[in-house]
Amino acid sequence: MNQYIQPNDGTRQDATTSMESEMSHHQRNLVDLCFEEGEYDAGIELLSQLKSSTHRPSKSHIRQLLYIALLSSSDREARVDPSASPSKRQRKLVELPSLAASRAAQMLLMSFVSINNPRGLMLALQPGDVDSDEEPEGFLATESLCISCCKHCWQILVDGFLLDQHIISSKGKGRMHSTLSFNDPTKTPSPVGETAWPILEWFVSIFERDQQTSTNNPSYSPLLLEQLGTPSRRDSDAALATCHYCFAQADPQRRLLGVRLLNLLLNLASATDLDFPLIVLSIFNGLSGKSPEDIASLLASLKPSPAVFKFKIAFYQKYFNDATSTSRPTARPRPQARAQQKGTQALTREASQLVNKYRAPSSGDLLRLMQTPTTAPDDDALRIKFDLLVSYHEFQTQASPAERDAEWSEVVRNGTLLDETFGCRANINGVGLLYRDMLETILSVN
């Protein structure tokens, strides 16, 4: 049973009331017929012609599109009997969705995000009534049921997800089982397979649209929260592993997907029971081997918001706390689940009442941190100090009155901040003077 992907009555009311009805039975049958006969390109084209803002595609069609989109060359080969004759092998390969069909399915899935309700699209990941008599027959309909058996959406993205799938249907019990056996049991599969990148973008786009249409204040994506465990047992490990894997990519578009996902997680942590310190620790440890320039570049890609500014402050705080004591950590400890309140209370409480809510340091604490000697190289320390103070200033200008530090404006006005951080102008030169001048401009200090 899918224990994670469950509706939450405390956060879904506005999304549900605006959800479109499903496509008509006649339209669905037309698409089913194409897929059942192996006419995958025709079925995808028909779905594209039928898409509308007034009705959404069926759950089974979204599942089947996801399956086609994820299908790789290795997946196709794995579904062909190696002992079969060359002609039978070729015939079997022809019966499977082509690479062109996979690309078309990826594009069609993305087109649904802009016109259909995000919650309606995510219904495909719920077990629901996948064994009902109305479910279509055929290879694709049966194979794609593995999509509904996943604990969370991150499992679908894992490299090799479609390899060696074994689906068992218990008609009488109305339950589906999925047994995953990846090729090499001694090797941990990558969080995102090569064909899963478009699907990760699809999920991220859905969560972003869900956040945009949410009436929660501060805004966040309830759909993303449903992929991170239950109120009694939150689990962001898989989502954070996906972020780290994105950050490690050479392709800037893939790195940007990680940034977009981290943005969503930070907004969640600022408004719900998601563990904010755990996110900070995970990202900090994951970036510990990178240069300050690389870190600053990645963090600069985050969309500005009070939640993001607080994250940057906490991140840089940890950098200095570690640099003034012991060497920086290189391994990420496995987070332990924390006990949370049952039901939806943790989701509906005011953000200011959250137990794990992070409070930014005071101006005095920040000044003391700037004065503390560090073990980091001078240029690195200056860069991090600059980024920390810029983030703190941005937070102070955008935070609610209750979260602002009353002394900050005076610290900025009298020049104490610049002197304590970089030294008096007459006594410094080089990089230190450059950072002081840039910060002075940002703070509008004359």
Please measure the distance between the N-terminal and C-terminal CA atoms of the chain and give it in whole angstroms: 63
> What was the pLDDT predicted at 413?
86
Q: What is the chain's percent helix, strand, coil content, to nearest 5?
A: 60, 5, 40
Q: How many CB atoms lie within 10 A of CB 409?
A: 12
> What was the pLDDT predicted at 95?
76
Can you give the length of the chain in residues? 446
> What was the pLDDT predicted at 8?
41
> What was the pLDDT predicted at 13?
39
**Alpha helix ranges (H) inside 71-98:** 73-78, 86-95
Q: Measuring CA to CA, which residue among 132, 98, 129, 106 is closest to residue 47?
A: 106
DSSP-derived 3-state class of residue 229: strand
DSSP-derived 3-state class of residue 183: coil
The whole-angstrom separation of Cα 27 and Cα 79 is 30
Q: How many CB atoms lie within 10 A of CB 29?
A: 12
**Tokens of residue 414, six digits:** 């009298």
> What was the pLDDT predicted at 431?
85
| Contact status, residue 67 vs residue 124, Cβ threshold 8 Å | no
The whole-angstrom separation of Cα 263 and Cα 300 is 11
Report domain extents, the chain. Answer: 13-190, 228-443
> What was the pLDDT predicted at 253?
97
> What does each of the 446 residues of the chain score in pLDDT, given as a tens digit?
344 444 343 344 344 447 899 999 999 999 999 999 999 999 999 999 999 999 999 999 999 999 999 998 777 777 666 666 666 665 666 678 999 999 999 999 999 999 999 999 999 998 655 545 555 578 899 889 999 889 999 999 999 998 855 443 333 344 444 444 445 556 789 999 999 999 999 999 999 999 999 888 889 999 999 999 888 888 999 999 999 999 999 999 999 999 999 999 999 998 888 899 999 999 999 998 888 889 989 999 999 998 999 999 999 999 888 876 544 444 444 444 444 444 333 333 444 444 346 788 999 999 888 888 877 778 888 888 999 999 999 999 988 888 889 899 888 888 888 888 888 876 777 888 898 889 989 987 53
The whole-angstrom separation of Cα 145 and Cα 224 is 21
DSSP-derived 3-state class of residue 148: helix
pTM higher than the cut 0.75: yes
